[in-house]
Structures are given as C-alpha cells and as structure tokens.
Amino acid sequence: MKPRPPSLRFKKRYVLAVIIPQWRTTNTRQLQQKITESISTLVGDVGIAQILPTIVFYERGFIIVRCRRGTERMLTIALSTVISDGMQRIAVRSIATSGTILALKRKIILLSRDITEANLNMNDREYLIYKCFGQKVDLLEKGIKSQEILFLTEKDLEEM
C-alpha cells in the first residue's frame, strides 16, 4: 500500500513520562496493555480509537507515548491512573508533551541520573539498595515472593 502523504496523515503528539521506581525493568507490552486499559475505563473504546496510544520508546525508566494531536490531556490523565505494569506496583508521571520524539529524547538526557546498586543486611533480611538522585534511597528485599519495598532517604537509612 502506498503511504499517505504527510498532509493527509493524522497529526501526532508525544508524551514523555517517567516510571516510578525508575530502577525497575518494565515489560513495555504489559505496560501498553495497562495504559490502554486505564484509558478504556476512563473514556471507553471510542476514546481509545481517538487517542490511539502507543509506547514508541522506553529507556532507563522513561517512556514516550504517541497519541493523536488534541488528545494529550486525556492521555496524561490516563497515565496518572496507571498503578501497575501487570507485575508490580508502579506510578507513571507525565513530564512533557512535544510534537517530536527527538525533543523528548533531549529532555531524557537532561533528566536521567545514574542509579547505583548495593547490598544491605538489616534485621536478618537482605536488601538491595538503589541510590537514586539526591537523597533518595529505595530498598528492595531480596527473595522470590512478597518482596518488601521501602522508599527512604539517606538520612532515614543512617538512623535505622
């Protein structure tokens, strides 16, 4: 099929969002399903057909979601109601909207920070520590089932 000329295509917008916690690797297919589900529960099938949400980029906890121009607002609302990626609890926080992926990728470079990993033994439990930007420290219990997760600061960790 011959592709349509640009003037006849739907105009698109791209929404940049960050997945909290940023160190978690997310299955984009499952996350895509969750985003579609949250839009569906908010505005139904007609809304999905109008928004046409698609994850076009995922890197270091940042996602870029494509939608049709004029529907960014509804997509942002839907993103704020995503509470899991199908496996774990997450939060999706929208940061910016743009007409090009390139502009958002530039923003990612500005916003992305290194996350360091370490081990910790506390109360006979083993934890993985993720030191994020600034004072933020995330503790993830090592294990297979029901891993405890704690969101702390460096000062909290010193006091423990």
For another protein, the binding residues (CB under 8 A) are 20, 41-42, 73, 76-77, 80-81, 83, 89-91, 93-94, 134-136, 148-153, 155-156
CA distances from 71 to 43, 64, 80, 97, 138 (A): 11, 15, 15, 11, 34
Cis peptide before 53 (omega within 30 of 0): no
Q: Kind and range of the H or E element at 107?
A: helix 101-111
Closer CB to another protein, 5 or 134, in the complex: 134
Q: In this complex, which beta carbon is closest to another protein, that of residue 64 or of residue 92?
A: 92
| Min dist. Cβ of residue 136 to another protein (A) | 7
For the bound state, the minimum distance from the C-beta of residue 121 to another protein, rounded and expressed in Å, comes to 19
Q: Which is nearer to another protein, 2 or 111 (CB)?
A: 111
Q: What is the distance of C-alpha 11 from the center of its chain? A: 24
Q: How far is the CB of 36 from another protein (least distance, A)?
A: 13
Nearer to another protein, 42 or 129 (CB): 42
Residue 57 CB, nearest approach to another protein (Å): 21
Contact 85, 36 (CB under 8 A): no
- The rounded distance, in Å, linking the Cα atoms of 129 and 139 is 5
Of 75, 80, 70, nearest to 20 by C-alpha is 80
**Residue 4 Cβ, how far from another protein at the closest point, in Å?**
32
SS3 69: coil
Q: Closest CB to another protein among 32 and 76?
A: 76
